Amino acid sequence: MRGYEVTLGDAYRDPRLHGPIGVTRGYGHRNSNHKRRLAIDLNLFRDGSYLDMTEDHRELGEWWEAHGEEVGLPLRWGGRFRNPDGNHYSCEWRGQL
């Protein structure tokens, strides 16, 4: 997409490793949408270089949000979080991002 190469980072966070919804074990939020299979982290590359800054994800993140509006889904990009998480893409569920 637009010159990016993409690999999958965190997707499903297995409760055996990260605790069930409502519990924090390891890293991540206790109510993470990764535990609900409603969030993914994407790794972006361009010309073989890993793009690790939130700003590197802006174009894709803004597209993600706009696509959500077009199809009527509450799609959220982590680059807008209070503590930005640029490679996080999710579907909001009951207020959880």
Helix or strand run (H / E) with residue 9: none
Q: How many domains does the chain have?
A: 1
Is residue 96 situated within a structural domain? no
**Residue at 74 is within a domain:** yes
- As a whole number of angstroms, the distance between CA 71 and CA 51 comes to 28
Does 97 map to a domain?
no
The answer as to whether 57 is a domain residue is yes
Residue 70, token pair as written in the block: 């077009």
Q: Is the pTM of this model over 0.75?
A: yes
Residue 18 belongs to domain with CATH number: 3.30.1380.10
Q: What is the dihedral of CA 86, 91, 95, 97, to 10 degrees?
A: -20
- Domain hosting 80: range is 5-91
**Residue 71 maps to a domain:** yes
Per-residue pLDDT of the chain (97 residues; tens, 9 = 90+): 678 999 999 999 888 888 888 788 777 888 889 999 999 999 999 999 999 999 999 999 999 999 999 999 999 999 999 999 999 999 999 988 8
Backbone φ and ψ for 42, nearest 5 degrees, come out as: -110, 140
Q: What angle do CA 12, 18, 75 make, to 5 degrees?
A: 40
